[in-house]
Structure 1
Amino acid sequence: MLRSTETEPVAADQADEPALSKAVSRLRIRHFQLLDALDRLGSLRRAALELGVTQPAAVALIDDLEFAFGAPLVARGRSGTTLTPAAGAVLARGRVAVHEIATARRLVARGAQCGGHLRLGASPYLISTLVPDLLVRLRDVLPDIQTDVREGTLDTLVAELARGELDAVLSSVDHAAVLSSGASLDIVSLASEHMCVVAGRGHPLFGVARAPLDQVLLGPWVLPHAVSHLRALVDSAVFEVGAAPIVPQVECRGVSNLLLIAAASGLLTVAPHYEAGRPHWRGNISLLDDILPLNATPYVLVTRRYAAWTAELAALREQAKTVAGQLFGTGRPA
């Protein structure tokens, strides 16, 4: 389930939830650890061994889970032990619970020295642009906060968020990737950034202020791989002008890599306007603005759904919106 919001998320379906049944209330972390082990190992014997319990004790834990949730969760066959489709929702939320308890234990162990902890995932580009200023502003409002920043693609980061391994993700929006997690997540819009065509030094269009569209389409190009959000923007823009799809000479991942290759090889590429305008690219690339109708890229903060956000997440949301607005504005260059 996915919800986009500009205000503090309060899940309406949570407000009307009945009290937990006695059977559910009696469940322990060990029950969910067993379910996780069964999913990873595919063997009751190996799962019991990992948890340090006997197989009969593991079976009793499974019985507790199935009674509490009122559905078969585990199927045993000659090929091993598998989870039923009904177990998916229990497993996903159980993993989050285990991670949250482990995090709480670490925070309590740190005592008064801990001013909060955030595990933040972000795309490589946003780590190089948005995250540095964001961390400064976070420390202004939460001086002792500890932040663990992890780089990755959106689908990988969202999967880690759904498993409880991250608290939040900063990235360009891709609803398909977010929805595929199967978890209840919230999306907060931060800002949008204008995209532009860039010519590397040595390309015939380098330094040309206005270029004919047909010359731009000729390339040669270095572009992201076909599955990327940025490549989808390019393909959509080319389709909109009625041209044949671009076949790039080089494909690679990462905004900085695209610009480095374009600058060194005299190729065309596309890049976020803020990054292409940074001083260290000056003299190596030039911007061909408004050549292709490239849509602005929206940046978002993705979190799990909470009845009430923690102070750390609330601060992250507000500071991320402020910094993103200052860096990227409304999506068009100043």
Structure 2
Amino acid sequence: MELELRHLRTVRAIADAGSLTRAATALGLAQPALSAQLKRIERALGGELFERGRHGVRATALGELVLERTRVVLPAVTELQQEAARFARSPRATASFRLGGTHGPLLGALVDRLADVLPDAGVTTCASWSERQLADLLAEGRLDFALAGTCGSAAPPRAEGLVWREVAVDPVFVMVPEGHALAAAHEVGLGELAEEQWACVPGDGCFGDCFSASCARAGFTPRRMYETDTSSVVHLVQVGRAVGLCRATFPSTPGIVTRPLRGTPLAWRHLLGWHALTQGADTAATVLAQAHMAYAEVAARSDSYTAWLAARRVP
């Protein structure tokens, strides 16, 4: 693993909090996830950074060395971001968009729309399953805009100077193979899937915890969860090895049907983010408007979602 700025910020947060539990709360992570991340950082640096005790953590000699370097590196990066922001607002800056997004159809749809309305602007993309990583890339000036998401009404990824605006909210649907007993149902109760194995794309927000809580309310614990990439999730569902969770805008896919979960126990909020210092109000408004239209186009291509919406329209 290569050391990144976000790893240094994690080490700094643990030292400031004085315990993994308090640091996990401040970072919006589960404590086991933070512990696993710290172990990866320690392996990359060649030794333990903190001694764990009953009353919290204390930096080792190596940890003190790393913390001393963070006091130099992190402010220097902040200064670089500010200089880059000033450059980005200057006439010398070339019109271009570096877009990031989680895996899904919305990123591609936004690229397509921007290519139509801003044909002279260069557009590059970066995909990641980690909303937190996308936020870090925005904060570091390595992305101009990012499409991320949160579970329900959870707060967006935190980083100083970032602006987040809601694009849309999707109900979460379930993917089942075409031959599944529930494939013809108009909607599916979560409890009806108690004996299934599951597949999903990993994330670093609270969605997994919210899913587990919803299953508990429905009276069961998921038998198994395969965390893998989108293509593998699709394959596992197609061959009947698992069922999967997906946003309602998930595109129609051969061999798979998507169905609403009864009572809409889970939701996914699509967000567009940017750094307040690097994007002008007009540019941000343009990209946000195109993101709204891109979402509408993606939603219109999902037969199950359009049927779900139509059933809820007031005559």
TM-score range, shorter chain: 0.5 to 0.7
Equivalent residue, structure 1, for 2:266: 295
For residues 85 and 94 of structure 1, what CA distance do their matches in structure 2 show?
14
Is residue 97 of structure 2 the alignment partner of residue 118 of structure 1?
Answer: yes
Residue in structure 2 matched with residue 197 of structure 1 by the alignment: 174
1:320 counterpart = 2:254: no
- The answer as to whether partners of 1:201 and 1:266 remain within 8 angstroms in 2 is no
User: C-alpha distance in 2, partners of 1:119/1:210?
Assistant: 39
On the 8 A contact 1:195/1:271 being kept in 2, the answer is yes
Contact 1:168 1:303 in 2 (8 A): yes
Correspondence for 1:218: 195
1:253-300 Cα shifts (integer Å, max 9, x gaps): 344432221112342221122215x1x33xx12334234633221100
Question: Which SS does the other structure have where 1:120 is aligned?
Answer: strand
1:154 deviation in Å?
A: 0.9
Pick closer, same or farther for the CA change 1:233–1:327 going to 2, 3 Å.
Answer: farther
Q: CA deviation at 1:214?
A: 4.1
Q: Structure 1 residues 97 and 168, CA, compared in 2 at 3 Å: closer, same or farther?
A: same
**Identity between Structure 1 and Structure 2 (%):** 16
Give 1:217's aligned amino acid.
A
Q: Deviations over 1:127-159 (max 9, x none)?
A: xx1223322322333220111111112111111
Contact 1:224 1:230 in 2 (8 A): no
Deviations 1:44-87 (A, max 9, x none): xxxxxxxxxxxxxxxxxxxxxxxxxxxxxxxxx99858548876
1:151 has 2:127 as partner: yes
AA aligned to 2:122 is: Q
The answer to whether the aligner puts 1:136 opposite 2:136 as a matched pair is: no
CA 1:274/1:91 → structure 2, altered by over 3 Å: closer, same or farther? Answer: same
Q: Structure 1 residue 93 and structure 2 residue 78: aligned?
A: yes
Pick closer, same or farther for the CA change 1:266–1:207 going to 2, 3 Å.
Answer: farther
Read off the aligned partner of 1:302 and give its amino acid letter. Answer: G
Q: Structure 1 residues 229, 293: closer, same or farther in 2, change over 3 A?
A: same
- Other-structure match for 1:160: 137
| Other-structure match for 2:236 | 261
Q: Name the aligned partner's letter for residue 134 of structure 1.
A: L
Q: AA paired with 1:121?
A: G
Aligned residues of 2:109 and 2:295 also touching (Cα < 8 A) = no
Paired with 2:263 and 2:244, the residues of 1 have a C-alpha distance of 12
CA deviation profile, 1:227-262 (whole Å, cap 9, x unmatched): 555434422322333x233132x4123444322211
In the alignment, the residues of structure 1 paired with residue 203 and residue 134 of structure 2 have an alpha-carbon distance, to the nearest angstrom, of 19
Gaps of 5+ in 2: 10-60, 311-315
TM-score, scaled to structure 2: 0.63
Query: How far 1:226 sits from its partner (Å)?
Result: 7.7
Higher relative CO (Cα under 8 Å, sequence separation at least 6) belongs to 1
> Do the aligned partners of residues 233 and 170 (structure 1) sit closer, same or farther apart at CA in structure 2, a change above 3 Å counting?
same
User: Residue 60 of structure 1 aligns with which residue?
Assistant: none
One-letter amino acid of the structure 1 residue matched with residue 245 of structure 2: V
The separation in 2 between residues aligned to 1:96 and 1:108, in whole angstroms, is 17
- Bigger radius of gyration among the two: 1
- Specify whether residues 201 and 161 from structure 1 end up closer, same or farther in structure 2 by C-alpha distance, changes over 3 A only: same
Match of 2:92 in 1: 108
How many residues are matched? 244
Q: Deviations over 1:301-331 (max 9, x none)?
A: 1111249716443321221122224434899
CA distance 1:83–1:305, shift in 2 (3 Å): farther
Cα gap change, 1:233 to 1:87, in 2 (>3 Å): same
Aligned partner letter, 2:221: P
Structure 1 residues not aligned, in runs of 5+: 1-35, 41-76
In structure 2, relative to structure 1, the CA distance for the partners of 1:226 and 1:103 (3 Å cut) is closer
Is the alpha carbon distance of 1:313 and 1:212 closer, same or farther for their aligned partners in structure 2, counting shifts above 3 Å? closer
Task: Tell me: CA distance 1:89–1:297, structure 2 relative to 1, closer, same or farther (3 Å).
Answer: same
Amino acid at match of 1:163: E
CA distance in 2, matches of 1:161, 1:212: 39
SS at match of 1:247: coil
**Alpha-carbon distance in structure 1 between the residues aligned to 2:89 and 2:269:** 33
Q: Distance in 1 between matches of 2:170 and 2:66?
A: 48
